[in-house]
């Protein structure tokens, strides 16, 4: 079975182990995921499986999104069939909200378009990597974004307590180097948290309890894959 699933972050809670110790966990709803495409080295140049999670209302889905998961009889499709071009197999499902690929280079597992994957796929996995986008915080100053301590709060410092301070140099080189830590956009970036322990799996409800925190707000989409970091 595959070693990767898509889902959403539900929230954090705590559970108790056999010894009575408290374990902080994040609840993830993983699956059901539908296999939308199977990438092959001969056709695509790499091997991967494309999964989709969460149904998207048809009124909000574009024609391209609907045609990606089901045969809708487009003019281009009919012309390709008339020319003898092989038609791709469709999953025949609803358009998906969250679509991502997992590389499968060198793996022996077999995937079929339309196959439904659930949290049971991680039944024998001990540690996972969680990929998601951290919370977006908009435009942030140097103290919040880079943990600067700010300027002095003594007598004579006027309305500059949270300022950055000097960012340039003298006459030589007389410019600000690239990459200088300054105020700017903070958050909403892709982050991978490695080697989180799988505490418990509820196959009936497609929920997985992961020890520790994962990126994103409650309800954010995440990718979960078996870790290669042991």
Residues 137, 138, 144, 147, CA torsion sign: positive
In the Cβ-directed half-sphere of 32, how many Cα atoms lie within 13 Å?
A: 9
pLDDT of residue 65: 93
The answer to whether residues 103 and 50 touch, using CB atoms and an 8 Å cutoff, is no
pTM: 0.85
pLDDT of residue 73: 80
The candidate with the shortest Cα–Cα distance to 128, out of 42, 220, 26, 49, is: 26
Q: In the 3-class helix/strand/coil scheme, how is 122-145 assigned residue by residue?
A: HCCCCEEEEEEECCCCCEECHHHH
**Torsion-angle region of 101 (φ positive above 0: left; ψ -120 to 50: alpha; else: beta):** beta
What is the per-residue pLDDT across 106-125, written as a single tens digit (0 to 9) for each? 775 688 999 999 999 998 89
CATH classification code of 4-139+193-226: 2.40.30.10
What residues does CATH 2.40.30.10 cover in the chain?
4-139+193-226
pLDDT of residue 23: 96
């Amino acid at each position: 079975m595959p070693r990767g699933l898509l889902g959403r972050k539900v929230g954090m809670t705590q559970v108790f182990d056999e010894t009575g110790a408290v374990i902080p966990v994040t609840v993830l709803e993983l699956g059901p995921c539908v296999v939308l495409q199977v990438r092959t080295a001969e056709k695509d140049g790499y091997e991967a499986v494309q999964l989709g999670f969460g149904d998207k209302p048809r009124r909000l889905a574009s024609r391209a999104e609907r045609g990606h998961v089901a045969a809708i009889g487009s003019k281009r499709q009919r012309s390709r069939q008339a020319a003898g071009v092989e038609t791709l197999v469709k999953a025949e499902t609803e358009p998906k909200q969250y679509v991502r690929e997992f590389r499968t280079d060198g793996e022996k597992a077999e995937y079929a378009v339309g196959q439904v994957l659930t949290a049971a796929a991680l039944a024998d996995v001990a540690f996972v990597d969680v990929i998601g986008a951290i919370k977006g915080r908009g435009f942030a100053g140097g103290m919040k974004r880079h943990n600067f301590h700010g300027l002095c709060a003594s007598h004579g410092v006027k309305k500059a307590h949270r300022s950055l301070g000097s960012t340039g140099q003298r006459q030589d080189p007389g410019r600000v180097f690239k990459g200088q830590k300054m105020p700017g956009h903070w958050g909403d970036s892709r982050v991978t948290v490695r080697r989180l322990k799988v505490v418990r799996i509820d196959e009936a409800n497609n929920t997985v309890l992961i020890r520790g925190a994962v990126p994103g707000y409650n309800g954010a989409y995440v990718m979960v894959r078996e870790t290669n970091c042991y």
